[in-house]
Chain A
Amino acid sequence: MAKHYEMWEKLGLDLEKHDQFLNPVPELFTEIFIKQDNRPEGMDYYDFVVGDIHGVRVKELVAEKDKGNPVISSFCAFVPDELIIAAGGASIGLCAGAQFPIPRAELELPNDICPLIKSSVGFKLERVCPYFEVSDFVVGETTCDGKKKAWEFLNEHISTYVMELPNTKSASGHQLWQSEIERFKLEIEERSGRKITTEKLAEAIKLVNKKRSVLERLYNTRKANPAPISGRDTLLITQLAFFDDPARFIEKTEKLCEELEARIANKQGVVNSEAPRILIAGTPMPLPSWKLHSIIESNGGVVVCEETCTGTRYFESKVAENGQNLAEQLVNLSERAMNINCACFTPNEARVDDILRLANEYNVDGVIYYNLQFCQTYNMEYNKVADALKKADIPVTQIESDFSENDSGQLNTRIQAFLEML
């Protein structure tokens, strides 16, 4: 992995800790990704991005900043990238899927909270994430109690702007999110000194929709049996979608989709058609959280879809492109988010329908319901989802985990047994 000490130092990273964090990545990546059989050639690009994960893209962002363009980071699929891009800026989804910075975060935060929150805060405290350091500010959202409180704490270390997400999809909920989108637009304009125009926003909406569409096209290829691409490769691509340059990402992913579609035409799969097909439903798996996919696939299963924020919830809902003026465009932006069926809403019946639909569309043999430890909302929705799946005769099991390797032995047995059951 290339070293960019000069740039990292300028950004204020803790070089020694940063090395400790990054040094094991290539070996892990080789083990989980490179050693797979039958990998599509188009994965080269994503391998290259991971191979220089804190280099090439960070360099681009530093250059953007030098040009006076805003760099704004966030953690959630609800945050409208379009507004940031329309202001000529870059929108970055921060990594929060590593165990490494968690012990540091636990010095300041309680142990028994969501590992994603601990990881993201820990990345800032340890100064091992260049994306954090290159950001002008961070955008948080009120998706859960843990995050709400974490933003107060994070704001002491980096300017953190909070968007208030409604708890329901009621008319007043829609109105609230609309006003939050407007407020966010003004905030970006004020902080960047840029004006967001109808033309620029229309372009940005088109661009981000295109990114969502290419991810959808990629996911559609997994509906084929045998699946032309492994679950972990697709997860990796989705993870990288959060911070890669959108135009380049679209181009590379389109190319990969062409390859995969050709594979399907030749009935060529990454595994054979007997491999149990798994849908994962639940909480996000930000970089570099690959544990669950890796266990499922090393035991002979293949993950064909993720109903998660690093999966269908990220791209299924799109922004209507018919807005004629800013007011209409902002409403359209707001409506996209309100169409996402996240457990932060009550009620959230449509999520059950989503999971049943996806299980059907992707022709899955079983569902692994995954939630991060201490994630109350997703954990509590399990029973409802499980009942619906059982009624439809689709086997399901629940896995609660974090980013550590503590439970990999136990998970291995449980997942292996689940696959044997299918």
Chain B
Amino acid sequence: MYSLGIDIGSVATKAVLFDGDIVDRVILPTGWSPRQAGKDAVIELLKKNGINQVNKIVVTGYGRIAVDFADKVVTEITCHGKGAYVLNNKVRTIIDIGGQDSKGININKHGKVIDFIMNDKCAAGTGKFLEVTINSLGEDITEIDELTRKAVAEKINSMCTVFAESEVVSLLAQGADKANIIMGIIDSIAARTVSLLNKINITDEVLFTGGLANSSQITNQLTKVLQKKVKTDTNSQFAGAIGAAIIGWEELQ
């Protein structure tokens, strides 16, 4: 028996196959059609594992409303809470930064969400902010850890993605070092995230999930500003999909 969890984010679609344990996972770009991305993820997972059907599909993420094959639709907040708890059951605070939003989530000792906070209608401090500013430097988002290894942050003042982009361009024009600018962008994301997190309790272990958790520099910077160890997991980006798969699995039991 299998359950399948799909987390259709604004940038990446993650899917996890579950049979009581994580069997397999895939990640693909969401592209312009969240519905197609969700479908592709299912097909790829099934094909890779030589199975014809799953017993329950739970969909989460911003694209969750776009699909028509979900047995259940759950918000990413509940799913990240569930997923993070399975990755580490000592976790009580979750920082999730995805393509277009950032969240702080508190869970109790049973993994149930008890409080959360989410960014407002603005992309400040999200993956989009990182993507736009890094692209304006002609660099790739996956390289930021490598590029900033010895960097000293330049101060980026604007929280607004659009204004920050032009600020980055003028810093370049003034001769600032590219690596230092990128470090400045990372600082800005961490500062923005921590100010969001101040509205919830930061207790016990803190797990960083979502796409930005792939960056050790962002993780380190969050630890520094928060003055509390922020952990990640090799499955951090899949936390939402794992949570969705588990919710499906629990319904099958």
A, B: real partners: yes
A residues whose Cβ falls under 8 Å from a Cβ of B:
395, 397, 400, 406-407, 409-410, 413-414, 416-417, 420-421
Q: CB-nearest residue of chain A relative to B119?
A: A410
**Chain B residues within an 8 Å CB radius of A409:** 62
In the complex, are the beta carbons of B116 and A410 less than 8 A apart?
no
| A400, closest chain B residue (CB) | B120
Instruction: Verify B121–A417 contact, CB threshold 8 A.
Output: no
The CB with the most chain B CB atoms within 10 A, among A407, A409, A413, A416, is that of A413
B252 within 8 A of partner (CB): no
B114 adjacent to A395 (CB under 8 Å): yes
The 7 closest A-B pairs by CB, nearest first: A417-B77, A417-B75, A420-B78, A421-B113, A416-B75, A407-B121, A413-B75
* A420–B118 touching, CB < 8 Å: no
With A420-B113, A421-B112, A421-B113 known as contacts, the answer to whether A413 contacts B121 (CB < 8 A) is no
B74 within 8 A of A: yes
Chain B residues, Cβ within 8 Å of A417: 75-78, 113, 116, 118
Measured in the bound complex, the distance between the Cα atoms of B78 and A417 in whole Å is 6
- Distance of B83 from chain A, by nearest CB (Å): 14
Residue of A nearest to B65 (CB): A412
Q: Which residue of chain B has its CB nearest to the CB of A415? A: B75
Contact with A along B35-49 (1 / 0, CB 8 A): 000000000000000
Interface string of B73-104 (1 = CB under 8 A from A): 01111100000000000000000000001000
Q: Count of B residues near A, CB < 8 Å?
A: 15
Q: Are A420 and B74 in contact (CB under 8 A)?
A: yes
The residue on A at minimum CB distance from B76 is A413
Contacts of B113 in A (CB 8 A): 417, 420-421
Q: Could you tell me the distance between the alpha carbons of A395 and B115 in the complex, rounded to whole angstroms?
A: 8
Q: Are B114 and A421 in contact (CB-based, < 8 A)?
A: yes
Smallest distance from the beta carbon of A281 to chain B beta carbons, Å? 17
Chain A residues lying within 8 Å of B75, measured Cβ to Cβ, are 413, 416-417, 420
* Smallest CB separation, A396 vs chain B (Å): 9
Assess whether B121 is in contact with A421, with CB atoms less than 8 Å apart.
no
CB pair A413–B118 under 8 Å, yes or no, is yes
A61 to B217 CA separation, bound complex (whole angstroms):
67
A residues within 8 A CB of B78? 417, 420-421
Q: A410-B120, A417-B77, A420-B113 are in contact. List 6 more A-B contacts (CB 8 A).
A: A395-B114, A407-B121, A413-B77, A414-B77, A417-B76, A420-B77
Least CB distance, A28 to chain B, in whole angstroms = 20
User: Could you tell me the distance between the alpha carbons of A397 and B113 in the complex, rounded to whole angstroms?
Assistant: 13
Q: Give chain A residues whose Cβ lies under 8 Å from the Cβ of B77.
A: 413-414, 417, 420-421
Contact of A421 with B116 at beta-carbon distance under 8 Å, contacts A413-B75, A413-B76, A416-B75 already known:
yes
